[in-house]
Chains A and B, each alone.
Chain A
Amino acid sequence: MLSCDACKKAFIPPKYVCPHCYRTELREITVSGAGKIYSYTTIYIPPETFADQAPYSVILVELDEGPRVTGRLEAGEPVMERRVELQRIEDGVYWFA
């Protein structure tokens, strides 16, 4: 994640400006990557660029630290409240399992 040192807020990248204090120097920080599934959907009709992946599940993970992040589930069906952990960030996509 990206953190604004001045106001201690954390953001999912990309982030160009801290909307609170307008600083542009945002520092990279690491978080545990653990959380639970807050919601999800399985997409059957994808946009063109994702055509070869359909159907696929997109999940909204509530990280233990508080912020939520939209990501993908590596395998299996998403279930409400299931605990997940970040496996990797690839081309900006947060993959959980």
Chain B
Amino acid sequence: MRTVSVTGLGMTQFGKHQTTLKALALEAGREALLDAGRPRVDAIFVGNFLGGRLAGQEILGSILAKELGLGAIAAAKMEGACASGGIAFRQAYQMIAAGIYDTVLVIGVEKMSHEPASVVNQALNAAMDNDSNEAVTGLTFAGFFGAVANRYMYEYGAGREHLAMVALKNREYAMHNPKAQYRKETSLEEIMQARPVTEPLGLFHCSPITDGAAAVVLAAGDHGVRVIASGQASGPPLMQDIPDLLTISAIRESARQAYEQAGVGPDEIDVVELHDCFAMTEILAIEDLGFFEKGTGWKAIEKGLTKHGGKVPVNTSGGLLSRGHPIGATGVSQIVQVVSQLRGNAVNQVEGARIGLAQNLGGTGAYSVVHIFEGKGT
């Protein structure tokens, strides 16, 4: 397996855009290619979830190859709900590591804000198994994490305030990120009194509806930030099939593969971007990624261990909660932030960050992808 590095980064503002799905993807893709020195690209992989349903657009790979003047290269879209971007990145990594391609462009993109929230929420249910009793029962994607939160608080003694602390931490980080969707100062009180979405989760505990795109260029060799591991696993899409509701097994397994491949453990990770689709998800993820024992994640949040000055800063970009969650773009934008940290020019820079981890989740733990990166030291 060859060495693979990230040589180019690109990202649009995350938020509500009046422009199109194609325009967003092109903006990020162009920026990444220019950042990489406009190399010849052998393939393009696109991460996108609802382009067909919400924007009436498929064939994104081919469209973007043409619009970016990349030639008659291979193109494909990868989908894994909210893990689409991370999965597209992993495909590129694997193809280069295996010696099949030398340079690959990965673009993640989503355009969601142009439809009413009720339409978007209905579309999001495509991340569940709709040929099941659960679908006709009215369980939503957010509802699943609400049920997880209620059981977690019941079993481990966490309180609603811990969910709010996650949202507050990520908002505080986003306030310094010019590309983040939500940068307005808030408080625990405002978060806890916000409109309920699915009990116990309110507006601030849920990732928003966002438009945006992010892109990276990967290349064989050592001329960038090295990708030192890639892990992926699946999990049960149905809530009733999950053996332990308070463990996301796909995160555990994808992380296990990545740590083994990289030859590092959680203690050696300097900075993390993980998938906080809901505040509860971040609490589970820091446990299932091995940073804290099962059932103690809420205490770690309370003690400030997941921000600067703690054990490991998590979601320095603002996370999905405040940076935004344009679904297909998210996994790629996490990687943009981690690589920026390792380049030494990130927002909310972690001093001396040398090893970073990005974890991207799809659906109710149906997919998880973990990548570990090594910089040259800042």
Contact = CB atoms under 8 A, between A and B. Distances in A.
Contacts of A94: 133, 137
Contacts of A34: none
A51 interface: yes
A8 B122 CA distance: 36
A47 B122 contact: yes
- The range of chain B's interface size is 35 or more
A34 B241 CA distance: 18
A92 B133 contact: yes
B2 interface: no
**B interface majority secondary structure:** helix
A92 B139 CA distance: 13
Interface in B227-258: 238-241, 245
Contacts of A43: 138-140, 142-143, 146, 198-199
Of the listed residues B138, B139, B142, the one surrounded by the most CB atoms of chain A closer than 10 A to its CB is B138
Given A14-B131, A38-B151, A48-B122, A60 B240 contact: yes
Interface stretch (B77-85, B113-121, B324-332): B113-121
A60 B150 CA distance: 11
Interface string B2-15: 00000000000000
B118 A48 contact: yes
B147 A80 contact: no
Nearest to A54: B138
B137 A93 contact: yes
A60 B133 contact: no
Contacts of B146: 41-43
Nearest to B144: A41
Interface string B132-164: 111011111011101111110010000000000
Contacts of B134: 70
Contacts of B199: 41-44
A70 B196 contact: no
B363 to A, nearest CB: 15
Contact of A44 (B119, B137, B198): B198
Interface in B186-220: 195-200
Given A42-B198, A47-B122, A69-B240, A58 B142 contact: no
A83 to B, nearest CB: 16
Interface in A1-41: 12-14, 38-41
B340 interface: no
A4 B19 CA distance: 52
B94 interface: no
Given A41-B147, A80-B154, A92 B196 contact: no
B125 interface: yes
Interface string A49-91: 1110100101010000001111110000000100000000001
Interface of A: 12-14, 38-51, 53, 56, 58, 60, 67-72, 80, 91-94
Given A43-B199, A44-B196, 4 more contacts: A12-B132, A12-B240, A39-B150, A67-B240
30 contacts: A12-B132, A14-B131, A38-B245, A39-B154, A39-B245, A41-B143, A41-B149, A41-B198, A41-B199, A42-B146, A42-B196, A43-B143, A43-B146, A43-B199, A44-B198, A45-B117, A45-B142, A47-B118, A47-B121, A47-B125, A49-B122, A56-B138, A58-B137, A68-B239, A68-B241, A69-B240, A70-B134, A70-B137, A72-B137, A92-B136
Q: Which 9 A-B pairs have the closest CB atoms?
A: A41-B146, A39-B151, A42-B199, A47-B122, A39-B147, A41-B147, A48-B122, A50-B138, A68-B240
